[in-house]
Structure formats: structure tokens, C-alpha cells
Structure 1
């Protein structure tokens, strides 16, 4: 019999995805696939709960492969939270996608979810690398299902994530070499070149500055369901890896602080609301990266809590815009507006997600983001604190106000559509309830805090100072938005393409490559011409000298060639004799 307690729970979700891929595309198998889509994450979550109840630090699946010890299953205080979270996200995403009849989407979603769960439960760097790459390969199909414009974006997405995996593996080998062959995945640091390679690999997946563009490129081009699923796992998997391997590394403080700020400016002028949410995703990841750099119990608990609620409220926002796109066929702010009349439930749920990401009191991020800010203050990191404070107001502007405003309440686009399908409403309602319950001041946030992996002194988010300060910040952002709109200063929503740093390699870099290729072709052409002329002239001279009608034949005595041949043979024999002796 198979011992369930020795197998990484994520593998069962992957197996369910492979089974779904083998089912023929018929109406009967459609219901079986949807059952697996919902049941597999629940089963994996139940296994994680059972394993953790046996031992607080549960280590199983230890293998010896080619002299390397692999730990395929490790559940501790840190990986436990991510394991639960990814199973919960898999369940909500499965419900949201019940209307989908695409076998590829169902199987890819399950394999992607399972690889993310298995990856965060990996105890060594080789196992981590394997599932790191499986998440990339399985998720690219969700991008490609977005339509004709998604193919190139999917190729770019796949290339950069495979490259990230190559860096991760190279760094892991170098780190293990410095440890005497130990591949255990614990704190890594930046004391070795391998540590730098691994941090860059993780930075690609979580969107470090100048490495972030794959999100804004791929997420808006994926299918409606695919975008929701993509937003749940890849970046949070990378945050887990950073939290495990680079806690307290100072450079991450500044990297994270920059990440919180620069997406604000792009999101303000972006017209595609799914790209706005992709920039907002990058902004929120910055808070987590900054918290990892600060380190310590308070900051790390803030990171873990922020990751947990972020998957829920960011998923809720992507789901609400996805529902609008499903009914209207567009996610462009310039083409939407007034939809609260025909999609009222979706509008209310979107507002809950918007309030949660903006950290309104009684909503999700209010009880988690503040811990990271408080940790920055405790360490006297005034500049990063100010940058995160600015970013908090910015996220209120672009995700808390802009997304719901231009979708549901701005100028009436005249669209009258049906409400979102029932399964989408169920998934969004579940996420909305969690956004409220996990921040509820009477026992709700304490449930979230009970999952925290690090011991800390009792932190109380609902104090007068915190509530009043946060409301002042949020209402200042609302006032600024209203004032700018009133006087026509706020950027108008228009069809346009926002130039980001990817222009450096997608436009400038491409043009440089084409110019270099053209110059190389021209150089080869000139060298070829010169070569032909030189060889032609030399050949002509040799022919003139040694042909039967040439100068040598005319001027030399008839016996001279025989004498030269004999001399050459004599010299050759002497050389062979000397070398042979």
C-alpha cells in the first residue's frame, strides 16, 4: 500500500492534473475534471493538516540520489502557511473556472497548483528547482489560451522563467559546494556567488525592478481564468523562497522599497485594468520583499500575513475584472463604466477587494501590512518607511479607486450585460468573506495570527493611533483623486501602449540585434569579395608560373624538375630517419 504520509501532497494535485489531461474531451469527462479541480486541493490541504498534527516539523521522503540527499517533504512553521494558502487558492480558482470547458486549462491549472504546493514543501534545493521549473512549464499554457496575441507573450514568459530556473540550479550547486555537498534549503545569504545567483533567480519570479515586465506582458494576455490562477502562485512561491533563504539581507530592504513605488506611476496612466492590477501586484510584492530584508519576528510575520491575504484580495480583484471581461469582452477602462447597474454583485465584491488592498480598517491588509511598517519604524528605517507610506497611498489610488471607479461607476458606457456566472460569484463571495473575516477585530485576525510561523509579542492592529492614521492616509488619497478628476488633471483613460523598461530589450535591444546582424552580414560580404579577389590573383600567378605554357616551363632546363623532385625525396627520407631514431 502507498503510505500517504511519506508523499509530498502537491504530487497528488499534479497527478490529478495528468489524469485530467488524459480524459477525452466529452461532456461526461467535463464533470470529472471539475471534480478533480476542486477536490484535489482540498485533499492536499487535508494531508498537510494531518502531517503537521503528527509533528510540528514534519520531514519525510528522504532519498539518496547520485550521492545527493534529497528531502522531498518538509512541513514546518513557514512552509505550512504557504501550503494551506496554495490549497485554498486552488479551491477558489477551481470554483471560479467551473464554467470553463477547456481540458488544457483544467489540467494545467492542477499541475501548476500542485507544483507550487510541492515546491514550498521541498526541503532541498534540487527538489525546489524541479518544481520551480514545473510551475513555469505548466503555467505557460494558461497564457497561450489567451488567444492569438498571447503566443509571443507566452514564449517570452517561458524563456525568462526557464532562465530563472537555470540560475537557481547553478546557484544551488555553488552553494552546496561551499557547504561540502549539503543541498538542504535553509538560509543561504550572499556570502557566495551562488547565493547571488539564487537571489537573482528568485528576484526574476517575484518581479525585482527591471526584471518585472513579464507580469505586465503575460498576465493581461492570458485567458480570463488563467490570469486569476497565474496571480496566485508564481510570485508568492518566489516570496517563500526569499523568506526561507534570505531573511535579514539588507539589500532586499531597498529593492523592496523601490518595488513598492515605481509601479504606482505606471498604474495611474495604464488603460488595461488587468495590467493595472499586474502593476499593483508588483507594488504589493515590494512590501513583502522589504519585510524579508528587515527580518525579525514582527517583519516576517507581517510578510507571511501579507502573502496570505494578498492572494485572496488580489485574486478577488482579478476575478471581478475577469467577470466583467467575460460579459463585455474587454478590460479597457476607456470602454467600461456604469456596469454597477447590470453587475451589482460583482461591483460590491470588487469594492471589498479594493478596500482590502488599500488596507481599510475591517478589511484584510489592515491587519498585516502595518506589521511591516511597524518593523521598519522599530529599525529606524525612515526612508524605506516613507517610500512604503507613499506606496500605500498610491495603491489606494490605482487599485482602491481607479479599478472599481472606471469599471463600475465612471461615465456610462451604455453596456447592459448579465451578472457574472454563478460559479464566479461563489468564488468571489468566498474570497470577499475571507477578506472580512481575517480582519475582523473580534477574533478574526487572531485566527490569521495563529498561523504565523514566528513567535512575537502580542500585536494589536486595532489601536486608535493606527486606525486614525490609516484613515487619514486613505482619505487623503481619495481627496487627491477627487481633486485631480474635478480639475481635469488626472490622466485620461485612452487607448495607448505604456513604455516600460522592457522597451530596452524588446525594442531598443531588438533593433540593436538587427543592426548588429546587418553589419555582420555586410562584413562577411566584403570579406568574401576580398577573399575571392585574392585567391583569384594568386591562382592566376601560380598558373602563369607552373602551367605547361608558364614561365617555369619556358625558362627552366628539361632536367631541372627531375633534380628538384629527387632532392625533395632525399630531404624527406632524412627527416623520417631522424625522427624514427
Structure 2
């Protein structure tokens, strides 16, 4: 075993996953593909364990340009680890699928995310950044519906735009600094601002987040699970690497944590509800990056690590529900606990982890954020985050298991989830519990050494109060029937700007263009008609040039023309 690990020392795990994905795309046999989907992440994890010492291992010299393709340090290693574990869980969860495109794309997508985390320069980051966009979109297209096709195209356009901004900003940054190294960037330079916007798109900042709620719920059941793990968490890593301590991130993160409250209440699609919960989780991570202290960055990393598992678990639950019932609508579900008790129990574990119940992973991560903000002295941000924890986290976490498994019985009598789905969900649930009760293991993976005790009386009592407040609000909303349970509607968010306003502007512009073209055509027709009449009057058999002129008048004009020619010839130089 030691010899095997020594062979994998300094081998970039991203290359293993990407190679596995390429092989998967080429294999015609489903069983062989599934084997690769499980073995590639395991080999990647072995390479991660084999490379223990910080350093830059992958270096490519291109003349004056040096590419660092494998920078292993305290910040990159925790993100890479969680991505590799997520890729393995995704492989188990997808064992029942038979789509070669989805299998290969999922592996390459995961490998690209790992490669971006290990990128030591902005060019390498851009390459993997774009690969995540190109190989995540097929997971949306694979759903095969017209809505999925449109959402996939919108998703791909936005993700590619993020990459274009990253490359443009990086080029200007390198021309000004003389270096392509990916480290602290900041907002003091316009190039830094462009790179920041590129990261903001992928991190789903407010007004830039609509692609998440638009695309994730329209992906396949497996696709949504895979998508929930990588793209946005990669963006948080990029912010932590390049913009740690940027104060505006605290404000942005707070808004991200709070704004989903209304949408979670009115949303009928439970996968869109989870997408809004993901926005909330990202807000806590962004706040930690904005604080920028070692505790704040540890908080961002811890929330990213545990968030991958409990959000994946909840998307897995809804994927299993869709696999058996064909729907994720709250108005069409209910009473499923009778038919799917194991899936329902795992959903409860995921919900407890999301809300940060003591002994679950969300608790030991969320308390880090609240403590970091408190030590930073931002009282307002602290208070708003507490409200967000009680509102968004609980409303989303309680709404999904309640309406799917314990609400009004809709009569679905289906089989329990397939065994591979249960296994993947069980492993994710185990991690939610293990990391919450063995918090030292999680804290040992964080970028900075930490001496923090999450299970203090203040933290536990304060969190229980938040849980009770959120549960009370949820019960009141259910009792007052404020949760929409009727109708299949699309609740537009900031995507109203382009799906309604933008579409309306384009249609209006098209109509105005047609009117202007028609008016121009009519005006041009009048001009052409007038000149045609004049030319006809001039050259037609009855026109002016066809008239009979007196011979004397013609002689006079001939003399005038001859005199003109003689004058020109006389004054012309020899």
C-alpha cells in the first residue's frame, strides 16, 4: 500500500478524474463505466493522501510563462478533498443510470473543479474554470425536456461569460503586475474588479444568481446532485484565495443569506426550494471570506466542506422521490414516508444538518461563522445572520421533508429508493452526523490551526433558540396555509430581468425594426417611382430626347459644343 501511494505522490488528482471521465465517454459497456466512476475518485483520493507536503508539484514552462498546475497547500487541500469525496458519492448515486454522456461529464466536471482548486496561476484556473462550465451543462441537457434545453443554454452562456471575464481580467492583471500567479488580488485595480465579477457569477451573488434556480431544478435527478457540489463551492474557494478580507463581501453574503426567505415560502418546486437554501449556505461562506481572519476563512472552508454533503443529501432525497413519483412539486407530494421510510429518515438527517442542530455537521460549521462575525465586531451582520439561520435554513430544511413525506397524503404508493441511492444517501447522512459529533476531525482539515470549542453553553443554547424560533414560524405558516399548495407556477426571481423585461425589450425592438423597415421601404418606393417616371419621360419614345428639333437649333448647339472643345484644347498644357 505504501509503495502504491508513493507512486501517486505529486500526481494531480484532477488528471485522474478527467482521464476517468474521458474513458467513461468512450466505453460502450455500462458496467465498465460505473466501475470507472467509482475507481477514479478512489484513485484521486489516494493521490490526495499521497501528497501530504505543501508545495507546487505540477509546473509547465512555456517560455517566459510558468504554469503551476498542482499547488497543494492548506487552502486548496480541503476543497480538493471534499470534491473528491463528492465525486465518489455521485458515482454510487448514479449507478442506476445508463447515460454515457452524463457519466463521463460528471467525472470530468468533478476533475475540472479539483484542477481549478489546485491551480497556482490564472491561466490554469481559466482552463479548468471553463471545463467546469462545458461539462456541467450536459447534466442539464440530459433531462431531455424543452425547459431543460432552454435552461441549459442560459446556464452555459452565463458560465462561459464568467470564464471570459476571468480571462480578460487576468490578462490585464498580468500585464500590470508582470505575474499570472493566482493569489491575493483585491479590488484596488479595475482588473481585480473584473475577476471579482467573474467569481461573483459562479458564486451566485444577488442579481447574478438566477442561473442556479433556473438550471439546477431542471437537471436530471443525478445531475442536480452533481451540480450542487462543485460550481458554487469552487467560486467560494476562488474568493477565499483572491479576495479574503474584502469588506463588501460581508454585506453581499448577508444579503445572500436573507433574500431566499420569501422565495422559499412561495416556491412549489422542492428542488427550487433547495436551490434557494443553497444560496443561503453560500451567503454564510461569503461572509466568512469577507471577514478574512483565520477564523473567518476557516468558517468558510468548514461550511463549504459540510455543505457539500448535506445539500447533496437533500438533492439526493429529491432525486429519489422524482425517480419513484416523477415529480418534485410540493402540491403533488405528501405521505411518502409510508412508502419510502428510509429515504424519509435520511431526509430528516439532512434537514437537521442544514438547520445546524447540535451533534450535526451544520452546527459545528455555522457557529464558526457567527463567532468570526462576532469577533469582527459587526453586530448588524451577526443579527441578520441569526435571522437568516432561523428563517431560510429552517423553512427550506423543514419544508422539503414535511411536504414530501409527512404532509397531506397524495396517494403515492411506490417502492423504496433503489439500493445504490440509499447507499449514497446513507454515506452522506453518516458524514453529516460524524462531522457534527467528531468536530475535531473537521477542524483538523481547516487551513489554519484552530483552538475553538463549538459545544459551549452559549452556542448550544443560542442554536436551540434559533431552532425553536424557526420551527414556530414554519408551524405557523403551515397552520395559516401560507405555503402555496396549488398550481404549477414558475416563480421568477432576478431572471425576470431577461426572461420578461429582456424578452419584452427584444420583442419591442423587433417590432419597431419591422415598422421602421416598412416605413423606409415605402419612402424608398416613392423616391424610386418618381425617378422612374422622370427617366421614362426623358428616354421613352414619347420622351423629351425623342422629339424632333429644328435643324437651325441643332446647328447652334453644335457650334456651342465645338467652341467649348476648342477652348479646352487651347488652354490645356502640352
Smaller-chain TM-score bracket: over 0.9
Q: Given that residues 8 and 50 in structure 2 are in contact (C-alpha distance below 8 angstroms), is that contact kept between their aligned partners in structure 1?
A: no
Q: Which moved more, 1:537-546 or 1:215-224?
A: 537-546
Contact 2:260 2:392 in 1 (8 A): no
| In 1, Cα distance between equivalents of 2:564 and 2:86 | 88
Q: Quick one: distance in 1 between partners of 2:473 and 2:307?
A: 25
Task: Select which of 446, 454, 459 maps to 2:448.
Answer: 454
* Number of the residue aligned with 1:357: 354
2:409 counterpart of 1:412: yes
1:381 to partner: Cα distance = 1.1
1:310 aligns with 2:307: yes
Correspondence list, 1:17-416, <5 A: 17-24=21-28, 29-51=29-51, 53=52, 55-56=53-54, 58-65=55-62, 67-148=64-145, 149-180=147-178, 182-416=179-413
* Number of equivalences: 562
Question: In the superposition, relative to structure 1, how do residues 522 and 423 fare at CA in structure 2: closer, same or farther (>3 Å)?
Answer: same
Secondary structure of 1:64 counterpart: strand
Query: Residue 92 of structure 2 aligns to a residue in which SS?
Result: helix
Contact (CA 8 Å) 1:357, 1:395: kept in 2 or not?
A: no
Residue of structure 2 equivalent to 1:11: 15
Aligned partner of 2:558 in structure 1 is 559
- 2:506 corresponds, among 500, 503, 513, to 513
- After superposing the two structures, state which structure 1 stretch, 373-382 or 130-139, moved more: 373-382
Q: Residues 220-279 of structure 1, C-alpha deviation per residue, up to 9 Å, x if partnerless?
A: 111111110011111111111111011011111111110111112101111110010001
Pairwise CA distance, 1:569:
7.7
Q: Is the 8 A contact 1:298 1:375 kept in 2?
A: yes
- Structure 2 unpaired stretches of 5+: 1-5
Is the Cα contact below 8 Å between 1:270 and 1:498 reproduced in 2? yes
2:416 aligns to what SS in structure 1? coil
Q: C-alpha distance in 1, partners of 2:569/2:279?
A: 81
Q: Which residue of 2 aligns with 1:480?
A: 473
**Cα distance between partner residues in 1 of 2:506 and 2:572:** 56
Question: How many Å separate the matches in 2 of 1:460 and 1:101?
Answer: 46
CA distance change for structure 1 residues 567 and 293 in 2, over 3 Å: closer, same or farther? farther
Q: Partner of 2:66: helix, strand, or coil?
A: strand
Asked if structure 2 preserves the Cα contact closer than 8 Å seen for 1:45 and 1:83, the reply is: no
User: Measured at CA, do residues 558 and 383 of structure 1 come closer, stay the same or move farther in structure 2, by a change above 3 Å?
Assistant: same
* Contact kept in structure 2, 1:253 and 1:289, CA below 8 Å: yes
**Alpha-carbon shift at residue 495 of structure 1 (Å):** 2.6
Tell me how far apart the structure 2 counterparts of residues 560 and 462 of structure 1 sit (CA, whole Å).
Answer: 117
Deviations for 1:351-392, whole angstroms, at most 9, x for unmatched residues?
Answer: 000000100000011001111111111122122212211110
Of residues 495, 520, 523, the one that matches 1:527 is 520
Q: Contact 2:86–2:308 (CA<8 Å) still a contact in 1?
A: yes
The answer to whether the Cα contact below 8 Å between 1:224 and 1:325 also exists between their aligned partners in 2 is yes
For residues 332 and 111 of structure 1, what CA distance do their matches in structure 2 show?
A: 31
Residues 121 and 182 in structure 2, CA contact (< 8 A), matched pair in contact too: yes
SS in 2 for 1:438: helix
Q: Is the 8 A contact 1:271 1:333 kept in 2?
A: yes
Taking structure 1 as the reference length, what is the TM-score of the superposition? 0.92
Query: Is this contact kept in 2: 1:276–1:398, CA < 8 A?
Result: no
Q: CA offset at residue 65 of structure 1?
A: 2.7
> For residues 86-138 of structure 1, what are the alpha-carbon distances to aligned partners after superposition, in whole Å with 9 as ceiling and x for unaligned?
00000001001111111111111111111111111111101101111111111
Name the CA distance, whole Å, in 2 between partners of 1:88 and 1:567. Answer: 99
Distance 1:43 1:567 in 2: 99
8 Å CA contact retained: 2:330, 2:485:
no
- Maintained 8 Å contact 1:144/1:151: yes
What residue is the counterpart of 1:438 in the other structure? 435
CA RMSD of aligned residues (A): 2.3
**What does residue 3 of structure 2 align with?**
none
Is the CA contact 1:292–1:299 (under 8 Å) kept in the aligned structure 2? yes
The separation in 1 between residues aligned to 2:62 and 2:524, in whole angstroms, is 55
Please, which runs of 5 or more residues in structure 1 have no aligned partner?
Answer: none
Distance 1:49 1:538, change over 3 A: same
- Alpha carbons of structure 1 residues 537 and 455: separation in structure 2 relative to 1, 3 Å: same
Mapped partners of 1:483, 1:61: distance in 2: 56
Q: Secondary structure at the match of 1:514?
A: helix
CA distance in 2, matches of 1:308, 1:20: 27
Query: 2-side partners of 1:370 and 1:406: how far apart?
Result: 28
What displacement does 1:561 show?
8.2
Assess, with a 3 A threshold, how the Cα gap between structure 1 residues 59 and 544 changes in structure 2: closer, same or farther.
Answer: same
